[in-house]
Homo-oligomer: A and B are copies of this chain.
């Protein structure tokens, strides 16, 4: 079995805010991230699929197809968007790096796991070069 990984980037805004809390509580917990005007990042999305290389093509998956799936399911939805205000899964869930990794997994898995012989193995999301979250699905 081989794992094949492709990276893509998107630029988005977000903020951290819990409506059930006071402004003071939000600022105490979330610090500068609680700024309601939003701030943003260049995110890197790293998608790993696992499978056997096809005996004829040598591909686990066609990397052009994987790029298109990533673009259609995640990058095209998140890029140049305000995650809290424009992406449905973050209407009530705070778009932390952890939650973005889980959300990207849920968007990608139905497509990638029906591609025959391959399965989604790992989603990693970098918020900056120094911070990233990784999700491998539930056992």
- CB-based contact A32/B79 at 8 Å: yes
Residue of B nearest to A9 (CB): B128
Max chain B C-beta neighbours (<10 A), residue from A2, A18, A60, A128: A2
In the bound assembly, the distance between CA atoms of A69 and B76 in angstroms comes to 23
CB-CB contacts of A17-40 with B at 8 A, as 1s and 0s? 010100000000111110101111
Across the interface, which residues of B come within 8 angstroms of A63, CB to CB? 131
Whether the Cβ atoms of A59 and B96 lie closer than 8 Å is: yes
* Contacting residues of chain A (54-87) with chain B, CB-CB under 8 angstroms: 56-60, 62-64, 79-82, 85-86
A39, B11: Cβ atoms closer than 8 Å: yes
Alpha-carbon gap, A132 to B85, bound state (A): 28
